Amino acid sequence: MTQSKIFSPLDLPNGTTIRNRIAKAAMEENLADIETSTPSKQLINLYDIWARGGSGLIITGHVMVDRSAMSGPADVALDANSDLTTFREWAAVSKSHGAQVWMQINHPGRQMKTDLGQQAYAPSAIPLDIGGASRLFCQPKEMSDSMIESVIERFVMTARLAEQAGFSGVEVHAAHGYLLSQFLSPLVNKRTDRWGVSPENRARLLYSVVRGIRAVVNPSFTVAVKLNSADFQRGGFSPSDAVDVVRSLNTMGVDCIELSGGSYESPAMGGHTAQSSESTVAREAYFLEFAKEIVNVATVPIMLTGGISRREVMEQVLDAGVSIVGLATALALVPDLPVRLQRGEPIPHAKTTAPNWSSKTLASAATLGVVKWNMRKHSKGEKVSYQIWPIFAFIIEFFLGWKRARVFKQTRRVKTE
């Protein structure tokens, strides 16, 4: 394969076109206005940089569908009470150089920290199990049937608002251990009603969300799904489960399925799995072997994300039948990587060095801290440090998270008094 495959256009089932096969994958930027949960100037600046960088597709960091259920204090939320002004600016800036932009929409479920002062809900009242760090997360309550129906309505509402704000589409987040992923997992979903017991019932929430969105948005508005290839936990959501879900999504008007893997309990999305030691290629394309099986059953384009940064790995992924290559860390470090790649220019270091800590959860958090450090630098127009110490980034991110949570709780307290 030649480089031209990377920069060839991709036609989606809805009739729209992505100009090349490189996508800026979703990352948790933590750059929202904490008081309003809307896009901040820093966040919009960061997306302006990515827009200029040459990616054919830009997927936003996750946007919460319910401001009373936030993954973090500096996450964006979009609901019926939101002012669309800055959302419209966010969409316009991201599309200004020809990229499609999809808003990733999400609900954290039980993956919610206690310091936010909010109640967590999940399919079943099963808390996170991540060792000593478990105490940082809420004990969830089991969702009632009416709460589940309300969540469906919230996803649909957020998708409609994203379309009104000018986004090209939405990506429904059903991976990484968030709420929709929790319903898919037999380890977290112990329900005995129509939302549990069988794989089909556990997938009912995801299917209801997708069908609900597709029914209210324009045909040309993209509806994508982010799905785990597996959650990498014994007895959890498996590759065969993923194949069955993809077969069903084929018939629901979905335009693209992004494959990833893992959760807070097993952070495979950060490369902290057995596969990460097999070879250089495996360290970059964590889920490629799973993707090959998915490609065989999918009738819609497949996107693969997971540590990819080098041209030869992108080529291998596309040669395997994957339609779009998702870059996350690489574009946090080198936002104009696609432009440089197309010009044949040297690419600066586009990977972080993961610490070899016994706790995979803490190692993943430290690696993510390096990524967030650099995204903040880009958003302010400051010099980037590609190789800051992970322990330093971890401490900084922990302190910033604590500080943001205090502001978040104080803001919410004032608004309810």
Task: For residue 138, tell me if it sits in a domain.
Answer: yes
Q: What span, in angstroms and rounded, lies between the C-alpha atoms of 218 and 21? A: 24
Query: Does the structure show a pLDDT above 50 at 278?
Result: no
Q: How confident is the model at residue 288 (pLDDT cuts 50, 70, 90)?
A: confident
Q: Cβ(41)–Cβ(80) under 8 Å?
A: no
Task: For residue 233, tell me if it sits in a domain.
Answer: yes
Q: Are strands 57-59 and 22-24 parallel, antiparallel or unpaired?
A: parallel
Query: Does the structure show a pLDDT above 80 at 280?
Result: no
pLDDT at 404: 83
DSSP helix/strand/coil, 32: strand
Which residues are CB-contacts of 51 (< 8 A; sequence separation ≥ 6)? 58, 93, 94, 95, 96, 97, 99
Query: Which CATH number is 225's domain given?
Result: 3.20.20.70
Question: In this predicted model, what pLDDT tens digit does every residue of 203-259 receive, in sequence order?
Answer: 999 999 999 999 999 999 999 999 988 676 777 788 899 999 999 999 999 999 999
Task: For residue 405, tell me if it sits in a domain.
Answer: no
Q: How confident is the model at residue 271 (pLDDT cuts 50, 70, 90)?
A: very low
Task: For residue 397, tell me if it sits in a domain.
Answer: no
- Write out the H or E segment, with its range, that includes residue 150: helix 145-165
Q: Which domain holds residue 141?
A: 3-351
Task: For residue 396, tell me if it sits in a domain.
Answer: no
| Residue range 348-373: mean pLDDT, rounded | 68
Dihedral sign computed on CA atoms, order 270, 248, 239, 182: positive
How many domains, in total, are found in the chain?
Answer: 1
Task: For residue 37, tell me if it sits in a domain.
Answer: yes
Q: How confident is the model at residue 276 (pLDDT cuts 50, 70, 90)?
A: very low
Average pLDDT, the chain: 88
| Residue range 349-353: mean pLDDT, rounded | 63
User: Among 184-193, 201-210, 265-274, 299-308, whose mean pLDDT is lowest?
Assistant: 265-274
Task: For residue 273, tell me if it sits in a domain.
Answer: yes
pLDDT at 412: 74
Task: For residue 374, tell me if it sits in a domain.
Answer: no
pLDDT at 371: 81
Please report, rounded to a whole number, the percentage of residues in the chain having pLDDT higher than 90. 65
Question: In this predicted model, what pLDDT tens digit does every residue of 294-305 receive, in sequence order?
Answer: 999 999 999 998
User: Among 75-79, 113-117, 312-316, 384-388, whose mean pLDDT is lowest?
Assistant: 384-388
pLDDT at 361: 65
Q: Are strands 63-64 and 100-106 parallel, antiparallel or unpaired?
A: parallel
